[in-house]
């Protein structure tokens, strides 16, 4: 449960997600892991990076950074200060990146490459307000839960190189990545709470699952609509063809209307 920022993400929202998954018969192994209860693990990973001299404090203001179009310029005056020399204060922590091209092979999107220094820059792993970054947290959690395959929306593909970089630095195994298209509205925005998309219809879980399969280009037989969620999922597991999603960047919400 990605609740790194608990004041913003209520317990109620987390419970609603779990209820929706249960309703759709999408069950999980073991106990739900909450990022809000994992600070010790993130702290330990951060310390491991600090021991390798890969972390520095950044006091740059938002205004300082606005001039560099989102790419951290690497000019921070504190970049070469050792962690131990620091006064405790109000700063973010960044992870140093190197000027080399990284590669990974996405199961669906093919070969991906990125030069972290040129395209991202030293990136934040702990925010000024004390919260750990998404990048660090998911890498630590994926290893802890022994995740072997990461299947997620293509909107997150840009994070993958930073996460693989952290896995290398922390000596974690690298999972297989597969980035699938997301459903978008007429403005090209991902359907999400942030863009006020309608919630899933949980009164008709079978229809919801059936439509999801249609969106995912899996061509379920029409009679499957009347099946139980467990039957629809069984069909999906047996007939799943990920290659049908190849080269699709996004799925238009209007396709089914």
Query: Which parts of this chain interact with Zn ion (CB under 5 A)?
Result: 58, 60, 76
- Reading the block at residue 174, the tokens are 């690298």
Smallest distance, Zn ion to C-beta of residue 59, A: 6
Looking at the Cβ atoms of 55 and 108, the one nearer to Zn ion is 55
Q: How far is the CB of 96 from Zn ion (least distance, A)?
A: 12
Least CB distance from residue 58 to Zn ion, whole Å? 3
Beta carbon nearer to Zn ion, 60 or 169: 60
Residue closest to Zn ion when measured from CB atoms:
76
Report the nearest approach of Zn ion to the CB of residue 159 (Å).
21
Q: Which is nearer to Zn ion, 58 or 95 (CB)?
A: 58
Torsion on CA atoms 194, 179, 249, 211, rounded to nearest 10: -70
Question: Which residue, 60 or 191, has its beta carbon nearer to Zn ion?
Answer: 60
Assess contact for 96 and 56: CB atoms under 8 A. yes
Q: How far is the CB of 75 from Zn ion (least distance, A)?
A: 8
Residue number, 69 or 247, with CB nearest to Zn ion: 69
């Amino acid at each position: 449960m990605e609740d790194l920022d608990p004041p913003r993400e209520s317990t109620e929202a987390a419970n609603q997600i779990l209820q929706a998954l249960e309703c759709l018969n999408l069950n999980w192994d073991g106990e739900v892991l909450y990022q809000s209860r994992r600070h010790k693990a993130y702290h330990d990973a951060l310390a491991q990076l600090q021991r390798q001299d890969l972390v520095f404090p950044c006091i740059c203001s938002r205004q300082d950074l606005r001039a560099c179009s989102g790419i951290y310029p690497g000019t921070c005056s504190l970049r070469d200060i050792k962690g131990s020399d620091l006064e405790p204060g109000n700063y973010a922590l960044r992870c140093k990146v190197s000027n080399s091209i990284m590669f990974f092979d996405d199961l669906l999107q093919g070969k991906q490459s990125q030069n972290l220094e040129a395209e991202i820059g030293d990136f934040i792993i702990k925010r000024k307000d004390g919260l750990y970054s998404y990048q660090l947290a998911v890498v630590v959690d994926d290893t802890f839960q022994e995740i072997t395959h990461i299947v997620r929306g293509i909107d997150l593909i840009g994070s993958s190189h930073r996460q693989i970089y952290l896995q290398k630095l922390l000596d974690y195994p690298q999972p297989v990545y597969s980035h699938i298209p997301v459903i978008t509205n007429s403005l090209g925005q991902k359907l999400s709470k942030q863009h006020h998309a309608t919630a899933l219809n949980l009164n008709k879980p079978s229809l919801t699952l059936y439509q999801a399969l249609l969106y995912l280009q899996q061509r379920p037989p029409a009679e499957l609509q009347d099946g139980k969620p467990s039957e629809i999922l069984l069909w999906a597991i047996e007939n799943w063809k990920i290659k049908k999603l190849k080269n699709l960047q996004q799925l238009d919400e209007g396709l089914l209307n």
